[in-house]
Structure 1
């Protein structure tokens, strides 16, 4: 590692490895779980349970923490309302007695040489070194007696978090950790399943943030991108071929992507992540191109007078070589990424490479078989119209 030599060169200060900040979803990502509720008493038990779950899963997480883990001592004065009433005092008067003066009150305003000046009352700033000093502080009652605070209020010791977050009026406690697993999605899903099995109090909800939220948003965006890509491809094919049946046949090659991609991810030990979905998006263009090469040849042969079956057989024999060459060239280009030969991008793109290779193998082989069958079926349906018109 580079940190070791740097420590030897510059022993002063502290060196740390920040590569985890550059790794994105491949380890070193941050987990963020937000627990929402109306008060801290209902949120804290849930956040503690989630923190325990994260601490137990050492294979996926490290350095678990919560936003309320750092606390400070807090003393609360609980006033005795009955004693206050008997002495003619209120809790507000007690609070004003102990509260520091933040603003000096203006007594009057005087004018000197045409300029106005405020006259302030200078008050002593009282500090209390200990709780005993607060309890022994006295307050004057309307009855003319100085009453010690300890006789009208009780001091309760407790603790309070150093910071409290509120989002949309709800109190929020954040449980955070560093994700050390290379499969961020799997680690997050495993934790989410455990959290879903917890018995939540009324009014308490849990929401994932951090890298998990980013992954979910990216999944949604990629899903919309794939749907838009299919629609655009179909529109372009309809305009190019001058009809909707042949382009519809070409799109039949797309579902075969899923078969090879899933099998490839299973064999490679990868999960369906963002890189894999990007690979599927790439496959939409690659696979459709192979089907276009085949169907375009069939249409040209039909225009030369061959029947649909003859045109399919001729196109299959003449176009199988360029289709296989395209597939093999693409697979060969992605092998370094899958096998990790390209250290700068192999790990990050491994899921993408496996998805493209697996989807390309299945779609290429099945395109040469299924697409011609579908095309012949649809063309027979289209050719019924002339026969009906003759009748």
Structure 2
């Protein structure tokens, strides 16, 4: 999390307050402050008016002070072809105490002036590092998640941090993995749409029809409805694992509808011609009964195989648990609705297309 504003001290206050709140959220294992406290410093405010009377410029003052304490290199000593820096500065005993700098003499036009007469001192605190975002100061904290997925964690944290009152132009934002998650969600939506389109194209080519694939694809919204219900019941958010599960689910759920439609068409071809709707109903009923057992068996084996993963609450389960819940819920709901609604939709569509009578 990044806290953005202009006053570093105020940003640190908000960050510490937020870290205390976030650390109490169930599923958050550890919260770390990603900043350091400032260091103590002695500030010297240069008096330009007094210095101008003595004929001392700010540049001369700073240069003299730097040479006295840190040292300067006026020349180099050449020894056997090697250059050695010659550093000039005060003796160690003349610069060991902070109070000694006020006794330093700064050379002026006519006389040297004590540094104490040219500056006013104050003690304060300065930042060792200043981080910025869009030219504004930033203070950040990080959290390590346990059995809580990133999307749900962000949702919970937003709700908890509503109790912090931020001044105008101060705000917090989620960075790092959350921004990557948002980007991945858009990419996964495109993949889901692409999978939807490719399945339709393949079915249209196999059935040599643009109509029957629509009936088959109707099973996909049934699966998505089941996923939404499961995510609500398990209090899960849409994340990359859910989208991967959706891509898998789209390829799995159409199999049941394909089995039914293929059996319906086979029965109609074997019959030769359908004179009325009663004959069509009889073909659909026999075909549905024939395909009921294999559909239930394939669905049960898939669902039962994923159930342990769906209810796993161990370390790292936030990665594969949403995927398993997505596939299990979507496949279960889709199977039962497909067995009921696909025959009804096929009956209505075929009767309307061939103008069958009762």
TM-score bracket, normalised by the shorter chain, equals 0.7 to 0.9
For structure 2, which runs of at least 5 residues remain unmatched after alignment?
none
**Relative to structure 1, is the Cα distance of residues 284 and 122 closer, same or farther in structure 2, using a 3 angstrom cutoff?**
closer
Q: Give secondary structure in 1 for the equivalent of 2:186.
A: helix
**Relative to structure 1, is the Cα distance of residues 119 and 301 closer, same or farther in structure 2, using a 3 angstrom cutoff?**
closer
Residue 360 (structure 1) aligned with residue 331 (structure 2): yes
Q: Where does residue 25 of structure 1 map in the other structure?
A: none
Q: Give secondary structure in 1 for the equivalent of 2:174.
A: strand
Whether the aligned pair in 2 keeps the contact of 1:279 and 1:352 (CA below 8 Å) is yes
- More moved, 331-340 vs 354-363: 331-340
**Relative to structure 1, is the Cα distance of residues 346 and 150 closer, same or farther in structure 2, using a 3 angstrom cutoff?**
closer
- Post-superposition offset of 1:191: 1.6
- Post-superposition offset of 1:186: 2.5
Residue 350 (structure 1) aligned with residue 318 (structure 2): no
Residue 133 (structure 1) aligned with residue 100 (structure 2): yes
Whether the aligned pair in 2 keeps the contact of 1:68 and 1:162 (CA below 8 Å) is no
**Distance across 2 between alignment mates of 1:120 and 1:271:** 63
Q: Where does residue 2 of structure 2 map in the other structure?
A: 34
**Distance across 2 between alignment mates of 1:235 and 1:102:** 78
Residue 86 (structure 1) aligned with residue 58 (structure 2): no
Residue 49 (structure 1) aligned with residue 14 (structure 2): yes
Q: Give secondary structure in 2 for the equivalent of 1:209.
A: coil
Residue 159 (structure 1) aligned with residue 125 (structure 2): yes
- Post-superposition offset of 1:94: 1.8
- Post-superposition offset of 1:82: 2.3
Size of the aligned set, in residue pairs, is 343
Q: Where does residue 292 of structure 2 map in the other structure?
A: 320
Q: Where does residue 236 of structure 1 map in the other structure?
A: 202
- Post-superposition offset of 1:264: 3.4
**Distance across 1 between alignment mates of 2:30 and 2:123:** 30
Structure 1 counterpart of 2:73, from 96, 101, 104: 104
Residues 115-135 of structure 1, C-alpha deviations (whole Å, 9 max, x = no match): 999897652356632331222
- Post-superposition offset of 1:290: 1.0
- Post-superposition offset of 1:346: 6.7
Q: Where does residue 140 of structure 2 map in the other structure?
A: 174
- Post-superposition offset of 1:83: 1.9
RMSD: 3.5
**Relative to structure 1, is the Cα distance of residues 200 and 85 closer, same or farther in structure 2, using a 3 angstrom cutoff?**
farther
**Distance across 1 between alignment mates of 2:269 and 2:71:** 93
**Distance across 1 between alignment mates of 2:135 and 2:267:** 69
TM-score, normalising length from structure 2?
0.80
Q: Give secondary structure in 2 for the equivalent of 1:99.
A: helix
**Relative to structure 1, is the Cα distance of residues 176 and 335 closer, same or farther in structure 2, using a 3 angstrom cutoff?**
closer
Residue 59 (structure 1) aligned with residue 30 (structure 2): no
Whether the aligned pair in 1 keeps the contact of 2:306 and 2:328 (CA below 8 Å) is yes
**Distance across 2 between alignment mates of 1:69 and 1:150:** 32
Structure 2 counterpart of 1:297, from 237, 246, 263: 263
**Distance across 2 between alignment mates of 1:265 and 1:181:** 15
Residues 67-112 of structure 1, C-alpha deviations (whole Å, 9 max, x = no match): 33333212222112222233232222222122246763459x99xx
Q: Where does residue 153 of structure 2 map in the other structure?
A: 187
Q: Where does residue 245 of structure 2 map in the other structure?
A: 279
Whether the aligned pair in 2 keeps the contact of 1:53 and 1:191 (CA below 8 Å) is no
- Post-superposition offset of 1:288: 0.9
Whether the aligned pair in 2 keeps the contact of 1:68 and 1:164 (CA below 8 Å) is no
- Post-superposition offset of 1:365: 0.8
**Relative to structure 1, is the Cα distance of residues 141 and 374 closer, same or farther in structure 2, using a 3 angstrom cutoff?**
farther
Structure 2 counterpart of 1:149, from 92, 115, 121: 115
Whether the aligned pair in 1 keeps the contact of 2:192 and 2:247 (CA below 8 Å) is yes
Residue 372 (structure 1) aligned with residue 343 (structure 2): yes
Q: Give secondary structure in 2 for the equivalent of 1:75.
A: strand
For structure 1, which runs of at least 5 residues remain unmatched after alignment?
1-32, 385-391
Residues 130-161 of structure 1, C-alpha deviations (whole Å, 9 max, x = no match): 3312222221122x222222222122211123
Q: Give secondary structure in 1 for the equivalent of 2:343.
A: helix
Residue 330 (structure 1) aligned with residue 302 (structure 2): yes
Q: Give secondary structure in 2 for the equivalent of 1:172.
A: strand
TM-score, normalising length from structure 1?
0.74
